[in-house]
Copies of this chain bind each other. A is one copy, B any other.
């Protein structure tokens, strides 16, 4: 057939348009493509032929008739390559392989302490990922074309460097692409974990929704934004970083940022576990705590609800300001119904009815794989764009 893109390849300027439409899932036949791109059927046919010729697209047999001739379904060729996805958490990491069609082929979860030396952490992560690739290859899959990494801290959109991350000691100024490329010659992308989760959870639907917010409450608190149907990362890359918003009227708990009363220091998973420990319980993780709350443990329930209320209080301002149509709660704490109820109650109490009556508040659907899916999606979005994957710096 041929080789599908090397390191920084690009697709012919026009074909991107058709590819993007196909990838969006909103069109899967020549006719539908013509419809949503606005191009003429003739042009679409010509471009699709070229893409098939190049091996990017395949025809997958006839679809259902809608009262006339059956459409000949088209698909992105998934087996053209793999994207390695690494979602680094504070004390564990998730790994996945996404094929070129955007499907998550395999996943793996392993403990990994991010506080260790960045180089060692990335080295270890890369090894795990490459092991997965080896196994997948046995199953007939093709080459790894790039790696997309998520980290629990702010990432500069200009330099791809991690900046002032409160949960990643030793990582300030680190460039993940730079470090990883010392070990492997592939395009590498880094992003904040909440942004990846937003991409995975919110950009997935067939009919994409324009303005949405995803709040990830795990060890820390982060938030990813979708604006106008695309991931929004702000002017410098740290849009959505609400960790250090001061919570009105809360206790003056000291925060890693040097101030007191930050949302992260009060309502994050870490903060809650510490509170449980201070109170004398033997809780080691948020999961344990949520389990306790499900058994009506008074302290755990109270703390979780209160964390929901505090988070909801901050989100109220955001909902008023941003007027999204959908708010999604993700991360470990989203598994706690008490927490979710706290968020919902506070939002409905503190926002004007106007702002909430068209708003849907949901819980993330993909749980532990949302970040991986998002990592794959973002990489592929860039790969299948007019200028290909550029690993900055």
Contacts and interface: CB of A to CB of B under 8 A. Distances in A.
A353 B154 CA distance: 13
A234 interface: yes
Interface centre among A235, A247, A355 (most CB of B within 10 A): A235
- Total identical chains: 2
B320 A317 contact: no
Interface residues of A, number: 45
A209 to B, nearest CB: 8
Interface centre among A236, A242, A321, A355 (most CB of B within 10 A): A321
Nearest to A163: B354
A367 interface: no
Interface in A198-241: 210-211, 223, 225, 227-228, 232-241
Interface in A313-336: 313-314, 316-318, 320-325
Interface in A295-347: 313-314, 316-318, 320-325
Interface of A: 154, 163-164, 210-211, 223, 225, 227-228, 232-242, 244-249, 257, 313-314, 316-318, 320-325, 350-355, 358
Given A242-B320, A245-B320, 7 more contacts: A223-B321, A236-B323, A242-B321, A245-B316, A245-B321, A249-B249, A314-B317
19 contacts: A211-B234, A227-B227, A227-B232, A234-B323, A235-B324, A238-B355, A239-B321, A239-B323, A241-B352, A242-B317, A244-B320, A244-B352, A245-B316, A245-B320, A247-B248, A248-B248, A249-B249, A257-B352, A314-B317
Minimum-distance CB pairs A-B, first 3: A234-B323, A248-B248, A239-B323
